[in-house]
Amino acid sequence: MKITFAPEEILQTIEMVENENLDIRTITMGINLLDCVDEISRMEEKIYAKITRYAGRLVEVGEQLAARYGIPIINKRVAVTPVAMLGSRLGTADLVRIARTLDKAAKAVGINFIGGYSALVHKGFTDSDRMLIDSIPEALAATEFVCSSVNIGSTKSGINMDAVLKMGEVILESAKLTAAADGIAAAKLVVFCNAPEDNPFMAGAFHGPGEPECVINVGVSGPGVVANVVRRNPGADLGELANLIKRTAFKITRMGELIGRAASRELNVPFGIVDLSLAPTPAIGDSVAEILENMGLERCGTHGTTAALALLNDAVKKGGAMASSHVGGLSGAFIPVSEDSGMVRAVESGALSLDKLEAMTCVCSVGLDMIALPGDVGAETIAAIIADEAAIGMVNKKTTAVRVIPAIGKKAGERVEFGGLLGGATVMDVHPFSAADFVRRGGRIPAPITSLAN
Amino acid sequence: METGKQSNRVIVTVLGKDQIGIIAWVAGRLAEYNANILDISQTIVREFFTMIMIVDLSPATIEVAELAKLLAEEGQERRLQVNVQHEDVFAYMHRI
């Protein structure tokens, strides 16, 4: 048995992990809960039993794999069937009980988030959807690990503007209920257009209706690795640079593929997809903004940022797609503000505005993410922000999302802290002019002509 | 990628300043736990002393995680960085 790897290759892998924050961001197990529908207390029992049975070994297996391969696996998580699909007999109080059950199950299996307190209302509400959405603020405030998402639009169906306005109110209410913790409940709530059914990343993960009984999806990371590649090649033209990023993305994604397959084997659960997103963390050097700055921008957010991000996002996809048998989820560069130290710095220095972030979301995954808004922001303004973002997703046939946190009692320029992977950020300003009459018109924005593909 | 699916081979990497007895120390520890060294290479890469060993843990009385922890800790005392990783990591990352 000869060593078949060059020392340089082995050292490169080790350096990626030791110095460049290469890790597997999440192994997320999707679990179908449709068979748990029953009267409320039976349903609580069934849900708890099913999650703890399926995901009982998830954390243990994650830790084993991290040790075997020497690659950190940061998060182990569970995504469940959108809870709104579990039946219209549940009132809001019952739904909050379900949220508490999910929370309890998450705690029992040792995961750090459970997603799927969700509703898909892109074309309209069922009674159950309405109940669920009404219960979101209380459910998120009453739980620690539960994440919620609502899909309010799609390329095929247009944008449900009644849902958009409602979500503006729900986000505001969620922040108010957890004002003492800087509105943390709103950080666990995502509003989507074109939500993927197999996204492993929180807070938007849910187990879509087209998914199997149980599935393992993996989200990779690695902005630090890409940032270093870009930094080390100041002389490369943009074509060469794209190629270097592609190669790096390939290697990062291969780790996701390896871990996903291994987890699937160990847990005896089918392997779904690798989500090849570049997901930053608040750690220094693990920043997407830093990649863009290393490309030659003085600060992320200045002119040229959208072009640089477009190059990065495309190269990551091209490299990643070759590395995995099944790519899915969100798969693109994330640009959350509070979770990315470079983005926070760009906001603080006045280089990055909400409008520029919106423009950036046209060319990358996912949307306006982890952005703190002034505490006196109105529900209509949040709704208008959601509508803009959803329109970008709808027209461009891509996933867009909004996860904004109204910082109750704070103004633009002040800091909020969410802690852990969620980080902290400076409150960003919104436009002072009202969009209330527009968003209050309600109804649906029709699907674009490009959706007629048949 | 089917290679190594059932294998229990790990790559032990030792990085740091050259010093007497590195191989003796690692090999001694591996022998203690009945791990079989299949190949060793030693080289200087980017000014670092680098030793790479391919080790079969099938007959061994120690798990990869435990071995990794032990060698990393003892390595630290010698100012050496020691990594133990299943070979699939490198196969996946660098081979198609």
Span B21-62, pLDDT tens digits: 889 999 999 999 999 999 998 887 667 788 999 999 999 999
pLDDT tens track for A105-115 = 999 999 999 99
Average the pLDDT over A416-429 and give the result: 89
Residue A327's SS3 state is: strand
Q: How confident is the model at residue A257 (pLDDT cuts 50, 70, 90)?
A: very high
Q: Using DSSP bridges, classify how beta strands A400-407 and A367-374 pair: parallel, antiparallel or unpaired.
A: parallel
**How many CB pairs below 8 A link A and B?**
79
* C-alpha dist (Å) from residue B58 to A4, A36, B63: 19, 43, 10
pTM of the predicted protein model: 0.92
Neighbours of A439 (CB within 10 A): 23
SS3 content of chain A, % helix, strand, coil (to 5): 45, 20, 35
Contact present, B81 and B75 (Cβ < 8 Å): yes
CB distance A155 to A397 below 8 Å: yes
Of A1, A7, A70, the CB nearest to B54: A1
pLDDT of residue A42: 95
pLDDT of res. A100: 98
Domain assignments of chain B as residue spans, ordered by start = 9-94
**Secondary-structure percent of chain B, ordered helix, strand, coil, rounded to 5:** 35, 35, 30
Chain B contact set for A6 (CB, 8 A) = 94
Quote the mean pLDDT of chain A: 94
pLDDT in tens, B64-85: 989 999 999 999 999 999 999 9
pLDDT 10s digits, A313-347: 999 999 999 888 898 988 888 999 999 999 999 99
The H or E element that residue A454 is part of is none
pLDDT in tens, A152-171: 999 999 999 999 999 999 99
Q: Where are the beta strands (DSSP E) in A89-240?
A: 113-120, 146-154, 158-160, 189-193, 214-220
Torsion over CA: B22, B24, B28, B31 (sign): positive
Tell me the backbone φ, ψ of residue B10, rounded to 5 degrees. -125, 155
From B15, B50, B89, residue closest to A69, measured CB to CB: B89
Do strands A146-154 and A158-160 pair parallel, antiparallel, or not at all (unpaired)? Answer: antiparallel
Calpha distance A70→A450 (Å, rounded)? 46
Q: Does residue B3 surpass a pLDDT of 60?
A: no
Q: What pLDDT does B1 receive?
A: 40
| Three-class DSSP category at A301 | coil
Domains and CATH numbers, chain A: 25-193 (3.20.70.20), 221-451 (3.20.70.20)
**Residues of B at the A interface, defined by Cβ within 8 angstroms:** 9, 11, 13, 15, 38-39, 41, 43, 45-46, 48, 50, 52, 54, 56, 63-65, 68, 81, 83-86, 88-94
Residues near B85 by Cβ (< 8 Å), separated by ≥ 6?
A13, A68, A69, A70, A71, B10, B11, B13, B68
Quote the pLDDT of residue B2: 41
Interchain contact A106–B (C-beta under 8 A): no
Distance (Å, whole) CA B43 – CA B50? 5
Are the C-beta atoms of residues A272 and A207 closer than 8 Å to each other? no
Structure tokens, A39: 């009267």
Mean pLDDT, rounded, for A235-252: 94
Cα A353-A357-A358 angle, rounded to 5 deg? 115
β A73-80/A271-275 pair status: unpaired
- Which of B2, B89, B95, B96 to mutate to test binding with chain A, by most A CBs within 10 Å of its CB? B89
Residue holding tokens 């060059």?
A6
pLDDT by residue (tens digit) across A385-412? 999 999 999 999 999 999 999 999 999 9
Look at the domain B9-94 and name its fold. Answer: Alpha-Beta Plaits (3.30.70)
Q: Provide the 8-state DSSP code for A180.
A: G
ipTM of the complex as predicted: 0.82
pLDDT in tens, A77-120: 999 999 999 977 889 999 999 999 999 999 999 999 999 999 99
Res A64: pLDDT? 92
Q: Does residue A77 contact residue A112 with C-beta atoms inside 8 Å?
A: yes
A68 touching B, CB under 8 A? yes
